[in-house]
Structure 1
Amino acid sequence: MSKPVEKPYGITNIKSVVPLTLDLEQLNYDAWRELFQTHNIGYGVSGHLVIAKDKPTDEEWNRINSIVKSWLYVTLSELLLQMILKRNVTSSQIWKNLKDHFRDNKDAKVIQLDNEL
């Protein structure tokens, strides 16, 4: 039986399990997040979405982190990818930045729609 950490190396097409592209205009953050998080839990790498106090230096952790980052990147619209793409960030930092961006925008959108009504 293989260890859970070996599973992520076999994923070649994340789009088959997370078919949504996270987009600023689609209002699909909640659905995208649920699919992405479910996939990560199933492959035993959900810990990479949790903010760690220190950046681990473990080589295996860094390899899995790079895989999770690539899963994140490929499920984002081009505009969103350009907005969040930064050097030397962890997958958990990207996850948090996306959450902050979409949750902040969601609250602002609710206020805007409420004012329009």
Structure 2
Amino acid sequence: MISLHPALTVTNIKNFILIILEMENGHYTSWVELFKIHCRAYDVIDHIIPSEVVTPKPAEKDKGAATDTTLWKRLDSIVLQWMYSTISNDLLITILTPNTTAEKTWQALETIFIDSKPTRALYLE
């Protein structure tokens, strides 16, 4: 019997994450918390914060790795879609990169909002 991964059942992320992340609104902390809760609930937190899970990403040499790797890539794309759907168009254009991963996109957003607080404060003023 093939089991269905819970993340594959989410049809509209905006039903779960009601905040649209924008540079101007200062809701980064709230958005992050809602996003992490959603990712934990749907068992994909390891796609944005790998250190929060005990099991590593699927290795190519493992038995069944083709299936695991295919599922991993599919889930990673779903998490990317969730992020892209819950951020402003300006942020999307800023972070959109070909062939990226959910983890790299998560880190890019963190860099924008955490590592550049003085710049953001100046921008908001």
Q: Provide the TM-score with structure 1 as the length reference.
A: 0.82
Query: Counterparts of 2:12 and 2:46 in 1: how far apart (Å)?
Result: 21
What is aligned with 1:102?
A: 113
**Equivalent residue in structure 1 for 2:104, among 85, 90, 93:** 93
Q: Aligned pairs, how many? A: 109
- Structure 1 segments unaligned to the other structure (5+ residues): none
Q: Provide the TM-score with structure 2 as the length reference.
A: 0.77
> What's the RMSD between the two structures over aligned residues?
2.5
What is aligned with 2:5?
A: 6
Query: Counterparts of 1:19 and 1:68 in 2: how far apart (Å)?
Result: 16
Which structure's residues are more often helix, by fraction? 1
- Structure 2 segments unaligned to the other structure (5+ residues): 52-56, 61-68
What is aligned with 1:45?
A: 44
User: How far did residue 109 of structure 1 move?
Assistant: 4.7
User: How far did residue 106 of structure 1 move?
Assistant: 2.3
What is aligned with 1:30?
A: 29
Alignment deviations for residues 18-52 of structure 1 (CA, whole Å, 9 cap, x no partner): 00000000000000000001000011000000259
What is aligned with 2:87?
A: 76
Which stretch of structure 1 is more off in the superposition, 57-66 or 74-83? 57-66
